[in-house]
Amino acid sequence: MFNFTAFGLTFASAFESRFYSPAAGNPQVYCSLGHVPESLPGACSAGVCCEATPTRFLLSLDKIARYLVSDGEQITVEPAPGANELAVRLFLEGPVFGALLYQRGILPLHASAIATDRGAVVFAGASGSGKSTLAAEFRRRGYRVLADEICAIPPSMPPVLLPAGPSLMLWADALDHLKLSQAELEPARPELEKYILPQGGVASSSPQPLRAVYELEVTSAAEPALKPVSGLRKVEFLARSVYRPNFAVAMQRAPASLARIAAIAPHVRGGIVTRPVTGFSIAEVADLIAGDLAA
């Protein structure tokens, strides 16, 4: 078994992690190989390939694996015959971990995050909007990366972020923005133009005060811009940042997630950052956010 830490938890896993740091101590979550059922009695649909009850979550991916998450403590994985292990591990540490967080009462956001001297700053937005690229640019400037893809917000006040790990996954076009070579990085999985930027520095394990959340949007604008968000609009844009909200619905946790967002909103700085499809540098976007944080 491999032990690693993420989201304030220690995992004991049959799979070595490429994203999270090794850890010692008693595990709170166990991930093992075993038989996984094809369906869950009495479950609600959580999407095309998944179903759930309040305490169990099943993800079935043809030619990759079936995953069962139980009670926020146990993950069972049954790989498909001949499945590529990198693909099995990638889905385990993505949607499966997201479901686990819901079961433990932790709000997952679809976002990346960095550490600043005044707390965690989160970059949310749709897939391809540039969350990981922006985190990589801030890492280049000397900031620590706290999380990528999933940011975990526990049920405590004032709000904090539970660090996951300092690794990042970047699409091929993001490497061009950052002047990185594909040849020097490991592919996230076969036949996917997404690459792993390995850990930079020491992973943080202590909860970080949640300072700000910025939502990234791709628009037809001629240049990047930042617009602060306040009041009910902040609740709305935070709600858009929730990771796999269909999981929350199927596990009967959507009301709790919305209540958590409403509680968080008054305590964090919010902003919507728009940028063109092409003809911009990620440094310009980072400069806008750095300026807003310094205001």
pLDDT at 18 over 90: no
171 near 194, Cβ under 8 Å? yes
pLDDT at residue 201, rounded to an integer: 56
Reported as a pLDDT band with limits 50, 70 and 90, residue 181 is confident
pLDDT at residue 143, rounded to an integer: 93
pLDDT at 243 over 60: yes
Q: What are phi and psi of 256, to 5 degrees?
A: -65, -35
- Model confidence over 86-130: pLDDT tens digits? 999 999 999 999 999 999 999 999 999 999 999 999 999 998 888
pLDDT at residue 200, rounded to an integer: 60
Mean pLDDT (the chain, rounded): 92
Strands of the sheet with 186-187, listed across from one edge: 168-171, 194-197, 186-187
SS (H, E, C) 87-111: HHHHHHHHHHHHHHHHHCCCEEEEE
The structure's pTM equals 0.94
- Model confidence over 28-66: pLDDT tens digits? 999 999 999 999 999 999 988 999 999 999 999 999 999
Reported as a pLDDT band with limits 50, 70 and 90, residue 174 is confident
289 near 121, Cβ under 8 Å? yes
Domains detected in the chain: 2-104 (no CATH), 108-294 (3.40.50)
Residue 201 half-sphere exposure toward CB, CA atoms < 13 A = 17
- Model confidence over 187-235: pLDDT tens digits? 888 777 888 887 665 566 789 999 999 999 998 888 999 999 999 999 9
- What number is the average pLDDT over the span 254-259? 96
